[in-house]
Structure 1
Amino acid sequence: MAIEWKGIFPAFTTKFTSSDELDLPLFGKNLDAQVAAGIDGVILGGSLGEASTISIAEKETLTRYAVEKVQGKIPVVLNIAEGATSEAVKQAAAAAKWGAKGLMLLPPMRYKSDEKETAAFFKTVAASTDLPIMIYNNPVDYKIEVTLDIFEQLSAYPNVQAVKESTRDVSNVTRMINRFGDRFKILCGVDTLAMEEIMLGANGWVGGLVCAFPEETVAVYRLTKAGRIEEALAIYRWFLPLLELDLHPKLVQYIKLAEAQVGLGSEAVRAPRLPLEGKEREQILKVINTALANRPKLPVY
């Protein structure tokens, strides 16, 4: 399956049982809801998927399960976030074996590589696999910027096809388009900037709150792309307090609480993360429940 790299790609949460095992039935329930809402692909093992705490065996289980579950309706994309280039290459090969149809690739983890090293890392992984690749550009959280000059070098690799744009600078959408045209598809990776970046020409949205609110997320994207801006904006304004939960270091706990409230997940997280409690939980729950009490009726599109 070729990937078009457009539309809605949830950065999917990893569901756990109370005994800290993978909760595949709950994972599948949410995945079914996402597909029914009209998402265009799913990304496993990202930051929101608690990538740093899940094992290679668990990644394999999740990937094979998702591939079987979606039955070719959408592409399953596996995130790679590794410190060693050799390990990233191994995981790219494993992803293909497990049935993934694409990769999301972060710069090297834990070492702040310079521009030459960052480019070499991406080139080595890209050259090792035929899978389509989306580069994750998030200098705010990961301290390494994938510059336009790096993308210039990566343009020589046909399977490097897209960017998850998380620089927090909406102007970067225009910079990418001005320099590369449509060579790289651009997917907004910051929930609170999604509609703005789509209006500027982004091709899609790698979402967080979509895990709990797939229908609203798809509606904002499709209405915006159709030029029905007022209708999209009405949903987006309602959505914003929820989307802001994606910007916090505890985004995993916050989004999992939202999933639990809508019946698409649980609050179970893996240590060192701990479930929310006390005043903090009450505050986040208030945001979620206020939104649920005022949930908009979506237009036909």
Structure 2
Amino acid sequence: MNFDGIWTPLVTPFNQDGSIEFAALTPVIDSLIEHEVNGLIVGGTTGEYYALSNAERKKLFDVVAEQAKGRISLMAGINSTSTDETLDLGRYAKAAGFESILLAAPYYCQPTQGELLVHAYTVDDALDMPVMLYNFPARTGTEMSFDFIDGLKQRPNFQAIKESTGSIERMHTLTQDYADQLQIGCGMDDQVLEFFTWGARSWVAGASNFLALEHVALYRTCVVEQDMIAGRELASRLLPLLNLLEQGGKFCQYVKYGCELAGLPVGPTRRPLLPLSETEKAIFARAYEQLVAHRG
């Protein structure tokens, strides 16, 4: 499967009482398809999957599949604390029409690399779907080591990796030594230019929920047209906002506020995440307004 392009990890809209507002997904999905992102991910970190019940996650699979109606590629984030629940979510997503899965290390339990490999094999055996690995040890507590990746070489379904460690050294190793095995995807928004410069061809980008135009333009400039000078200019415009996302400690809150600014309201984050302060909103709004002012 070709994972090139912008993949948007969809936000999960909530009402003020914390319930999911499924209807709010429609304008977000339509906007992303209109702006020609390459795929949607349901159940990623940006979608606050860790705060959803198993039943809610399955309902989101159904709703997004129905609303997308075959207009765009769909990837299911199926991470959980146990292999059994991961399999349950994966089977449901496959039946709902999802084409690929996003697989991270089970969080909190901190499996060894050997245990993680058995987990991945089990998922592959059960689901037989294209897989994008998701290496985000700051969230899961477990890194996907190069030994682990080496252990997947004979498993053709493991086709891509979203790299979210923030390590430039590791990114270099992936792009230079593993490009024949895996399609490399940027998972650290404030390092996207570095990823594209070194050969990554995809970007899983939370802010594309509300800035799809800029994300698609940067991808096309850097990857399709191979114009890194123009790409650097585009990236420099995005960087102040991306720095707030990656370094501000409130990624999901900022993405949801960005959606509000873009006329795509999706409500608050689910507790324990609390709303942004007025000062935080003002700083973010200023960065957003400066960025979109260049659209004209």
Is the TM-score greater than 0.5? yes
Aligned pairs for 1:275-286 (under 5 A) are 275-286=275-286
Determine whether 1:159 maps to 2:157: yes
Q: Distance in 2 between matches of 1:133 and 1:15?
A: 26
Aligned pairs for 1:1-80 (under 5 A) are 3-80=1-78
Which position in structure 2 is the counterpart of 1:265?
A: 265
Determine whether 1:246 maps to 2:255: no
Shift of the alpha carbon at 1:217? 0.2
Moved over 6 A (4+): none
Q: 1:31-90: per-residue Cα shift (whole Å, max 9, x none)?
A: 111111111111111111011112222222221222222222321111122111121122
SS of equivalent residue, structure 1 residue 167:
coil
Q: Distance in 2 between matches of 1:207 and 1:89?
A: 25
Q: Distance in 1 between matches of 2:277 and 2:191?
A: 29
Shift of the alpha carbon at 1:239? 0.7
Q: Distance in 1 between matches of 2:235 and 2:176?
A: 27
Check the 8 A contact 1:12/1:43 in 2, yes or no.
yes
Q: 1:231-275: per-residue Cα shift (whole Å, max 9, x none)?
A: 222221111111123213311111111110011223422122222
Q: Distance in 1 between matches of 2:201 and 2:229?
A: 19
Comparing 260-269 with 127-136, greater Cα deviation is found at 260-269
Shift of the alpha carbon at 1:278? 3.3
SS of equivalent residue, structure 1 residue 48:
helix
Check the 8 A contact 1:173/1:201 in 2, yes or no.
no
Check the 8 A contact 1:12/1:42 in 2, yes or no.
yes
SS of equivalent residue, structure 1 residue 60:
helix
Shift of the alpha carbon at 1:8? 0.4
Which position in structure 2 is the counterpart of 1:148?
A: 146
Comparing 196-205 with 173-182, greater Cα deviation is found at 173-182
Determine whether 1:194 maps to 2:192: yes
Alignment gaps of 5+ in structure 1? none
Q: Distance in 2 between matches of 1:44 and 1:245?
A: 23
Determine whether 1:232 maps to 2:231: yes
Shift of the alpha carbon at 1:170? 2.8
Q: 1:117-137: per-residue Cα shift (whole Å, max 9, x none)?
A: 222221211221112111111
SS of equivalent residue, structure 1 residue 42:
strand
Aligned pairs for 1:75-154 (under 5 A) are 75-154=73-152
Which position in structure 2 is the counterpart of 1:288?
A: 288
Q: CA RMSD in A?
A: 1.7
Structure 1: which amino acid aligns with 2:239? Answer: L
Check the 8 A contact 2:15/2:267 in 1, yes or no.
no
Check the 8 A contact 1:45/1:59 in 2, yes or no.
yes
Structure 2: which amino acid aligns with 1:270? Answer: R
Shift of the alpha carbon at 1:98? 1.9
* Equivalent residue pairs, number: 294
Q: Distance in 1 between matches of 2:80 and 2:164?
A: 19
Q: Distance in 2 between matches of 1:285 and 1:52?
A: 27
Structure 1: which amino acid aligns with 2:285? Answer: L
Q: Percent identity?
A: 27
Structure 2: which amino acid aligns with 1:236? Answer: A
Shift of the alpha carbon at 1:109? 1.0
Alignment gaps of 5+ in structure 2? none
Q: Distance in 1 between matches of 2:35 and 2:209?
A: 11
Shift of the alpha carbon at 1:164? 0.4
Change (3 A) 1:84 1:276: same
Q: Distance in 2 between matches of 1:233 and 1:26?
A: 34
Comparing 201-210 with 172-181, greater Cα deviation is found at 172-181
Comparing 103-112 with 58-67, greater Cα deviation is found at 58-67
Structure 1: which amino acid aligns with 2:163? Answer: E
Structure 2: which amino acid aligns with 1:265? Answer: P
Check the 8 A contact 1:195/1:221 in 2, yes or no.
no
